[in-house]
Amino acid sequence: MKKNLLAIALIAGVVSLSSFTVKAEINQKVLQSFHAVFAEAKHVKWTEYPDSYFVSFTQNDILVKVTYDKDGNLLSSIRYYKEQRLPLNILYKVKKEYPSKTIDIVTEVSNSDGTVYFVQLKDDKGWISVKSDESGNMEVVDRIEKRD
């Protein structure tokens, strides 16, 4: 009988845990910082860590991921978007250097060191990933060739 009760308790615990959603308690400083910059954010999902908060959302059709410290300071951000939002100086250099390729996606990474852009290009032969700083200095960071 004890074994049956233990088994039932275990099953009930697993079922209740699988339907349990953790909701992070975000402090006012962080929420104020977030809403001041990202007032139009949609599909907002927060995760709390011991020393920081991570939030993922969309704004103006851009997927954004941001890390805040507990005082509401933005530590870093990652944005994913299409070529139209790429700074013009970088777009120009990428198009000039790789005229036969199309830009698939841009990943913009910002932190206290500045902003870096990872531009994924494609053509019939494969993909190439180019890293650019804010000035447009570029370097190839990855190449993947399609197999026949």
pLDDT in tens, 79-108: 999 999 999 999 999 999 999 999 999 999
Question: What does the pLDDT read at residue 147?
Answer: 84
Based on its alpha-carbon atoms, the radius of gyration of the chain, rounded to whole angstroms, reads 22
129 belongs to a structural domain: yes
13 belongs to a structural domain: no
Question: What does the pLDDT read at residue 116?
Answer: 98
We report the CATH number of the domain holding residue 143 as 3.10.450.360
Domain boundary residue, one of 14, 46, 75: 75
Asked if residue 108 and residue 62 are part of one domain, the reply reads no
Question: What does the pLDDT read at residue 26?
Answer: 86
Domain span at 120:
82-148
What's the number of domains the chain is made of? 2
- Residue 12 pLDDT grade (very low, low, confident, very high; cuts 50, 70, 90): very low
Asked if residue 138 and residue 100 are part of one domain, the reply reads yes
80 phi, psi to nearest 5 deg: -120, 125
Asked if residue 98 and residue 62 are part of one domain, the reply reads no
E-only strand ranges, 5-85: 42-48, 52-59, 62-69, 74-81
